[in-house]
Amino acid sequence: MKEYTSNQRKKIVLKINKVKNKEILASKYDISIRTYYYWKSQLETYSIIKPKSTKPKNNKNKLKNKKIIKRIIEIRKLYGYGKLKIKKQLELEDIKVGTTAIETVLKENNLYRSKKNKIKRKHKGKHAIYIKEAGTLCAFGRKGTNRRHALRTSSYAFFGEIRYYQFTAADLATRMSFRYLYDEKSPYSTIDFMKRLIDYFPFRIHCIQTATEGSACGNNGTEFTYRKHSFDTQHPLDIFCKKNYIKRVYSPVASPWYCRRHAQRWCSREYTQPRPKRIL
C-alpha cells in the first residue's frame, strides 16, 4: 500500500464519501475498503488521520520487578552513582541487571543526566600556555651554526670552520629576541646566557620555556636539562631559576608551532641589536 500523509488521507476520505461505489475509488488510490472505513472513523473521532506508530509496544530492556526498580532509585538518590556503578552495587547484592535496563529506569524517573557539565580547571601543568604579558614567558632555544655564516661580518675568514652554537631567547608577548654565540654547548654556557638575557631585556623575566623529550624542538641536551639523562644531580639551570625566582615550563610534546613561530626571526636578524631602554 502506498504511504500517504495525514492531509492526503483526509482528502481521499472526503472524495470517497461523495461516491456511491466506494470500493472502486478506494482501489484507484491503492487502499482497501477496510482502510477507508478505518480512516473515516479516525477523522470523525479525532478530526485528523494519524499514521500508525512504529514504536514498539513492549520494551525488552524494561524491568518488571518493582523491588529491583526501587533499589536502583535508592542507590541513585543516595550515592549519585551512574549505571555502571549501580550495576556493580547490585552484583554485590546478588542481583544481575544490565546497564541498559538501569538506564531506562533512571530515564523514566527523571534521574538520568544525559549532558555532562564541563569542569573548568585552572592551568597548573608544567607545559606552557599562551601568554600576552611581557616577560611572562620567554621561548628558549639553541641552534648550531658556523661562525662565518652566522655573524655576517668581514672578519669570519680568520676563524675558519670553527663550530659555534647560537643560544636564542624570544619574549612571546613583545616579540623581542636576544641571541649569543658560544663555542661549546654546556650548562655553564646556558647560565652565562641567562645572566646576559636578564641584563638585556628591559622588563623582568618571570618564566622561561624549553623543549621536552619527544617535542619538535629537541632541546634535550645537557645544556638545558638532565631529564633525558640518568643524572642524580640537579641541573644548574634549575638552580639558577630557583635563585632568581624564574618559573620554568616545557613546550608540549608533538607541537612544532611552539618552536617554528620564532625560527624566522632568529635566522634573519643581525646578532648585534641595540639595547632597549629598561622599563622601571
Q: pLDDT digit of tens for each residue in the chain (280 aa)?
A: 677 888 888 999 999 999 888 899 999 889 999 999 999 998 888 888 877 777 777 777 688 889 999 999 999 999 989 899 999 999 999 999 999 899 889 988 888 776 667 777 665 555 555 555 665 556 665 444 332 222 222 222 235 567 777 888 887 777 788 888 888 878 888 889 889 888 888 888 888 887 654 444 555 567 777 776 666 778 888 888 889 888 887 776 666 655 555 444 444 444 444 555 554 4
Alpha carbons 272 and 141: distance in angstroms, whole number = 18
The answer to whether residue 158 is domain-embedded is: yes
Domain assignment of residue 201, given as a range: 138-268
Alpha carbons 85 and 87: distance in angstroms, whole number = 5
Looking at residue 178, what is its pLDDT? Answer: 84
104 and 206 housed in the same domain: no
Alpha carbons 144 and 216: distance in angstroms, whole number = 16
Q: What is the dihedral of CA 122, 128, 134, 136, to 10 degrees?
A: 70
102 and 152 housed in the same domain: no
The answer to whether residue 203 is domain-embedded is: yes
169 and 82 housed in the same domain: no
91 membership: H or E segment, kind and range: helix 83-92
CATH number (domain holding residue 248): 3.30.420.10
This prediction's pTM: 0.43
144 and 256 housed in the same domain: yes
Sheet of 138-146, strand order:
177-182, 163-171, 138-146, 207-210, 247-250
192 and 254 housed in the same domain: yes
Contact status, residue 254 vs residue 218, Cβ threshold 8 Å: no
The answer to whether residue 128 is domain-embedded is: no
The answer to whether residue 86 is domain-embedded is: yes
42 and 78 housed in the same domain: no
181, β-bridge pairs: 166
Q: Which residue matches cell numbers 622561561?
A: 208
